[in-house]
Structure 1
Amino acid sequence: MQAMQIAVESLNMSSMVLKTYLDDLSEEEFLLPAGPGCHCAAWQLGHLISSANHMLEGLKPGSGMELPEGFSKAYSKAALESGVTPAYLAKADYFVLFDRVNEAARKLFLSMTEADLDQPGPSGFPPMFSTVGSIVVLIANHPLMHAGQFVPLRRELGKPIRI
């Protein structure tokens, strides 16, 4: 297996974990904060979609997807800090966008060579993400950075252990 296939497998695994934690939540539960200091699943999924799309565009302009009008701004750090809550979508709509941005990531990953991974990454990212490869790893694993926040919510709601 080559590096880009491993990146796709990592993306698939992290997406499966995240969706497994969220797929049995009701629309109302999807809007509950995941815990103290956390945001609801709808906000977190919007953030994951928007940030993945931004990173894809940074790696190769045109490789992302067109998001709904104002979507990226609604799930930005600036909006979060201003306390503005987005007009949340239905859970199924987030899953459609999540699947579409992941498909765009898979397509880009599989078009890359291993030599591409050593190239400098796009500007504007923290120093730990200085190469194309580090951005690919971030895109693939970013959902896992959020997935753990949903376990306490699931336990509080009495949901079964899924993974």
Structure 2
Amino acid sequence: MHGKDAIRSAYQLSRMVLTSYVSDLTDSELLTRPAKGCNHLAWQLGHLISSECGLLNSIAPGAAIELPEGFAEKHSKENTASDDPADFASQEEYLSYFPKLQEAAFNALDALSDEDLAKEAPEHLRQICPNVGGVFVLIATHPMMHAGQFVPVRRILDKPVLI
């Protein structure tokens, strides 16, 4: 297995976990917060989608999918307190972005050489990702950073164990 293969594998695994956890949740259930002070799942999904676009564009300008106007703002840190369903998308809409995001990320990854992946990451990311390959690893694994918050919501809602 080569580096790009490992990134693709990690990407697919983390998306499988995330989409499994969301697969049987209703739009209203997505507004459940795992604990006091935590962001609800709808916000987290939008954050993951917006973040992936921003991260991908930072290392491959123009490679990310285009999101609807206002999408990123509704899922920004400034909107974490909102519980207004009108501020958030449906479960179906959130899930519809993931195949498009994967295609964009994999196309960008495939267009880069090993030398390109070894180049320095954008300055604002270097503290956690020293190089472009590291940013792809972050893109691949970011959903797993949030997956632990989806499980308590599933327990609160008496949803079955899926994984």
TM (normalized to structure 2)? 0.91
- Which residue number corresponds to residue 117 of structure 1? 117
Aligned 8 A contact 2:120 2:126 in 1: no
Q: Name 2:39's counterpart in structure 1.
A: 39
CA positional deviation for 1:106: 1.5
CA distance in structure 2 between the partners assigned to 1:78 and 1:87 by the alignment? 12
SS at structure 2 position matched to 1:127:
coil
Contact 1:45 1:98 in 2 (8 A): no
What's the counterpart of residue 72 of structure 2?
Answer: 72
Q: Is the Cα–Cα contact under 8 Å of residues 56 and 64 in structure 2 kept in the other structure?
A: yes
* 2:119 pairs with 1:136: no
| 1:162 paired residue number | 162
Deviation at 1:30, TM superposition (A): 1.3
CA contact (8 A) 1:33 1:39 kept: yes
Long gaps (5+) in structure 1: none
- Structure 2 counterparts to residues 56-95 of structure 1, below 5 A: 56-80=56-80, 83=81, 87-95=87-95
Letter in 1 for 2:18: L
Q: Is the 8 A contact 1:44 1:146 kept in 2?
A: yes
Contact map agreement 2:120 2:131 (CA 8 A) in 1: yes
Secondary structure, aligned partner of 2:35: coil
Deviation digits for residues 10-68 of structure 1 (CA, Å, limit 9, x no counterpart): 10000000111111112221111122222111110100000000011000111011110
1:57 is matched by which residue type in structure 2? N
Q: Which segment drifts farther, 31-40 or 7-16? A: 31-40
Q: Secondary structure at the match of 1:149?
A: helix
Is the 1:14–1:140 contact (alpha carbons within 8 Å) kept by the matching residues of 2?
yes
Q: Distance in 1 between matches of 2:101 and 2:125?
A: 19
| Counterparts of 1:158 and 1:145, CA distance in 2 | 22
Deviation at 1:90, TM superposition (A): 1.1
| Structure 1 contact 18–144 (Cα < 8 Å) conserved | yes
Summarize the Cα distance change of 1:84–1:160 in structure 2 as closer, same or farther, 3 Å threshold.
Answer: closer
- Given that 1:55 and 1:139 are in contact with CA atoms closer than 8 Å, whether structure 2 keeps it comes out as yes
Letter of the 2:87 counterpart:
A
Does 2:62 align with 1:48? no
**Aligned residue in 1 for 2:100:** 100
**Alpha carbons 1:5, 1:110 under 8 Å: kept:** no
What do residues 43-99 of structure 1 show as CA deviations (whole Å, max 9, x unaligned)? 10100000000011000111011110011222222444xx45671111100111233
Secondary structure class of the residue paired with 1:129: coil
